[in-house]
Amino acid sequence: MTVPQIVIKRRLVILLLFSLIISFVLLGRVFWIQFVRGEELKNRALNQWTSDVPIEPKRGTIYDRNNNPLAISATVDTVVASPPDIKDVDKTAALLSTALDMDRKELEKTLKEAKDKKKGAIYIKRKITDEESEAVRHLNLSGIYFTKENKRFYPERNLSSHVLGFTGIDSQGLDGVELIYEKYLKGTPGRIVSETDALSRKLPFGVDKYVPPEDGLDLVLTIDKIIQHIAERELERALVEHKAKKGTVIVMDPKSGEILALTNKPDYDPNNYSNFQQQLWRNAAVSDVYEPGSTFKIVTASAALEEGVARPEDQFYDPGYAMVSGVRIGCWYHGGHGSQTFIQIVENSCNPGFVDLAIKLGKDRFIKYIKGFGFGETTGIDLPGEARGILEPSKVGPVELATISFGQGISVTPVQLMSSLATIANDGKLVQPHVAKAIIDKDGKTIHEFSPGSLRQVISHETAQEMKKILESVVTNGTGGRGKIEGYKVAGKTGTAEKYVPGKYVVSYMGFAPADDPKLAILVIIDEPSGGLIYGGTIAGPVFQKVMEDSLNYLGIEPKIASTEENDNNIKVPDLRNLYIEDAKKILLQNGLSVRVEGEGYVVTEQVPLPGAEVRRNSTVILKVSDSRTNKDPVTIPNLKGRTVKESTDIINAIGLNIEIIGSGYATKQNPPPEVEVGLGTAVRVEFSQKP
Amino acid sequence: MVVAERDLQRRTFYREQHEVLRHDTKKQQGKSRPNHKARYIARLVCIALLTFLPLYRFSVITESQYRLDTIQSEIKNVDSQNERLEVEIANLKAVARIEDIAKNKLNMKEPENQQIIYFNVN
């Protein structure tokens, strides 16, 4: 049967229409894909057929001020596993765990999980040592590969760890200058973009795009690694010697605010910081606050001089205490210092004298100077976690004002205290302490220099000069004697603050040298030393003296004072420990030394300075006595004349003799007579009568 | 007839001329056949050489590329070795280590004040 032409034509028209509609729909779809969703789909496709691998930049080196590296980055191996390529997981895990010192079961579990989940690649151990890398290479395991990563090395180990800080596993700064100067040190990552097939394999003739990484810039610190080492060595020695809990030393150039050394002990090794307790990461020098004690008196004295409420030659009287709003505030020296000049108040570190000054200054003026010296606000040092200290003027009443005058009832950070001392050394100008000196590029060209300069004039040039002289006399004639350095003029101040836990102290010593042209200012703080005599001068003073002397020698600062005369006048301190106190006193007076006795009892248990130390004629030796017994044999019979029965019994027992008492009251006669030498356990017959 | 004779002479001359030409060409043809072959072979060799040239160049480029890659990876290795040596030098120069060696191994002592002499180096 033939189909009529008209039917064929109609079918053709329908087909045409149908084709047209299909074409329009397809065109519409193409339009939709190309123009409406084009950008999005293009990106999705790009992600699918390219692999974008970031390239880690090399982190900048950190140098000390003399370009000695303190933190360096170097390329090391990281072990990566490709789970689909591992044939025998158990065997691989067993061999790898031995070579990389890892837990075998855990590694086995990780590998199996990754294999089950069909993961492309997983890290086994990142940034391994050369020995580990060699061991893994020897195993020649299938599915185990190496990639290169940058690892941070701190060649000086613990040295300056609280300034440097440390970096995390992805080379990001986590503490110290590593954190503060992260933006300069880290650099810009590069990338490799390459085309891949459906199984993420790189196409052999695919187009690669390579954007090179930009390495980080280098950082030069103000730290001098030799001075830093001296400070750490001496602080560590003092902590061991005095069985102290912790300590801090800061060395600063008072004119520029550059920190030459900053250390807290105990500390940690940033190479493996995770092996140390977190509290050891804490930079106590900037983050911890403490009651400064007498070292704070430099602020009170400066304010008093600047405001004219006292002149150096003004006379004061210390009865041993001061009464403020009905509260009795005692002097550290029992019985008081009596009549003394302003200079002697500072030399003797006399508390009632400073209370007097604070009262004369008044709250507002005193607070103005406390704030002026930078207390109650951060110094702006370029280290993380700086504390502001505790100073609340609204809560300062007359008693608080009085206690603040000698450094109790106010909390400061060591770096704030250092900054206030530097202000005096720097002719009254407050400088900002800082640890970064410059940012340099790989060719050593300076990109940026840090020199914050002075912030404000706190006290006048004249007052600062006056204070320098007074602090120098604290070292020459006062409590700061242990800071003396032969040939140099040293200015200093001691500090001893009792903590809220009775019997626990924080001792400090701070000073600068040469006093007339200060090159270095040093603060030493020792927390909770144990043992006999706990004074800033006796415990922190020797640390200050040694650090200052060694640093001045290292810097080539020539001694200016001729020391021959001093040498002739020097006397070696004899060993007085375990002696009856009266015998010890006699020996000291014969040697041309004066004596100060502390404690109750008749036997010397501690002495400062220690035996063998060289001191100048007429220096004071502090003897701490207790009621223990001596074991000296033979015993020299003491003179008991005028002593009570109890005193005589205690003395005779303390030196290992027996007493035979006749009568009561005061001793009048004794047998054997004084100065006779007898054996231990000899009986001494003492006659007493009511009238001496 | 004089005219016809001349005409004959002319024809003979032309024929002779033509003969000479043909003879020359034949001679020439006999000589040029081996030349032509040589040229043909030379051309072939040239073409073959020309086709080898890019191949050779490709091989040189690939070889250079390979050498470049090797050198670059060598540089990388040396660089990373340098980095490690720098770390090692820094480790060896650690001030605590040097002090320990000086004091305990070499029995060195810190100078007394009298032993220090100051010079003006400027």
DSSP calls for A566-626: HHHHEEEPP--TTSBHHHHHHHHHHTT-EEEEESSSSEEEEEESPTT-EEETT-EEEEEEE
Does A246 or A579 have the greater pLDDT score? A246
pLDDT, residue A120, reads 76
Cβ of residue B117 closer than 8 Å to a chain A Cβ: no
Identify which of A256-270, A328-342, B56-70 has the greatest average pLDDT. Answer: A256-270
Best CA proximity match to A269, nearest among A412, A185, A376, A160: A160
- Arithmetic mean of pLDDT, A585-610: 79
Q: What percent of chain A has pLDDT over 70?
A: 96
Strand, helix or coil at A519? coil
Q: How far apart are CA A298 and CA A420, in angstroms?
A: 8
Phi-psi region of A7 (alpha: psi -120 to 50; beta: other; left: phi over 0): alpha
> In the predicted model, is pLDDT for residue A288 greater than 70?
yes
> Looking at the partner chain, which of B84, B110, B113 has a beta carbon nearest the beta carbon of A74?
B84
Among chain A residues, the shortest Cα distance to B77 is held by A75
Interface contact flag, A72 B83, Cβ < 8 Å:
yes
Contacts of A317 (CB under 8 A, 6+ apart): A338, A339, A340
Contact A72 B93 (CB under 8 A): no
Domain ranges of chain A: 5-52, 54-184+210-221, 225-269+284-561, 565-626, 635-689
Mutate to test the interface with A, among B87, B89, B103 (most CBs of A within 10 A): B87
**For residue A113, how many other CB atoms are within 10 A of its CB?**
12
Quote the CA–CA distance of A79 and A323 in Å, as a whole number.
72
Chain mean pLDDT for chain A: 88
Task: Say what angle helices A461-477 and A414-425 make with each other, to 10 degrees.
Answer: 110
Nearest to A156 among B86, B94, B110 (CB): B94
Q: How far is A177 from chain B (nearest CA, A)?
A: 19
For residue A226, the chain B residues in CB contact (below 8 A) are 95
- The Cα A267–Cα A160 span in angstroms is 9
pTM, two decimal places: 0.76
Chain B residues inside the 8 Å CB shell of A487: 113
Report residue A566 as tokens.
């001093």
Residue A499: the pLDDT is 86
Which residue spans within A320-359 are E strands per DSSP? 321-324, 327-330, 338-341
Please, what CATH class does the domain formed by A565-626 belong to?
Answer: alpha beta
Instruction: Give the mean model confidence (pLDDT) for residues A101-125.
Output: 88
Can you read off the two tokens belonging to residue A486?
């032969």
Residues of A with CB under 8 A from a CB of B: 68-69, 72-75, 130, 148, 153, 155-157, 159, 225-226, 229, 233, 486-487, 550, 553, 556, 558-559, 563
pLDDT level of residue A200 (50, 70, 90 thresholds): low
Q: In whole angstroms, what is the distance from residue A331 CA to residue A408 CA?
A: 13
Q: Is the minimum CB–CB distance between B69 and chain A shorter than 8 Å?
A: no
Q: Which range, of A134-138, A554-558, A605-609, averages the lowest pLDDT?
A: A605-609
- Confidence at A565, pLDDT banded by 50, 70, 90: very low
Residue A587: pLDDT over 90 = no
Tens-digit pLDDT profile for residues A609-637 = 777 777 777 777 888 877 777 667 777 78
Q: Which of A159-163, A416-420, A498-502, A653-657 has the lowest mean pLDDT?
A: A653-657
The residue from A97, A161, A256, A294 that is catalytic is A294
Concatenate the DSSP letters of all residues of A633-667 into one string: SSEEPPP-TT-BHHHHHHHHHHTT-EEEEESSSEE
CB contact under 8 A, A229 and B116: no
Of B83, B87, B113, the CB nearest to A486: B113
Fold of the domain built from segment(s) A225-269+284-561: Beta-lactamase (3.40.710)
Q: To the nearest whole percent, how much of chain A has pLDDT over 90?
A: 56
A553 chain-B contacts, CB cut-off 8 A: 116
Of B79, B94, B113, the CB nearest to A157: B94
Q: Say if residues A70 and A159 touch (Cβ distance below 8 Å).
A: yes
Here the ipTM equals 0.71
Mean pLDDT of A512-535: 90
- Going by CATH, does the domain composed of A635-689 fall within 3.30.10.20? yes
The pLDDT value recorded for residue B2 is 52
pLDDT at A204 over 70: no
Q: Is A664 a catalytic residue?
A: no
Give the pLDDT mean for A678-692: 81
Q: What is the pLDDT of residue A564?
A: 46
Is residue B19 pLDDT above 70, yes or no?
A: no
**Chain B residues within 8 A of A155 when measuring between CB atoms:** 87, 90-91, 93-94
Q: How far is CA A616 from CA A96, A572, A609, B112, in A?
A: 68, 9, 12, 19
CA quadruple B17, B18, B22, B24: dihedral, nearest 10: 20
Reported as a single tens digit per residue, the pLDDT across A250-283 is 999 999 999 999 999 999 999 999 999 999 999 9
Q: Is residue B80's pLDDT more than 90?
A: no
Position A380 scores a pLDDT of 94
Which residues in A lie closer than 8 A to residue B86 (C-beta atoms)? 69, 72, 74
**What is the fold, at CATH topology level, of the domain defined by A54-184+210-221?**
Penicillin-binding protein 2a (Domain 2) (3.90.1310)
Interface of B with A in 74-93 (CB under 8 A): 79-80, 83-84, 86-87, 90-91, 93
Do A553 and B90 make contact, defined as CB atoms within 8 angstroms? no
Reported confidence tier of residue A289, pLDDT bands at 50, 70, 90: very high
Domain boundaries, chain B: 2-108
Task: Tell me whether B59 touches chain A (CB under 8 Å).
Answer: no
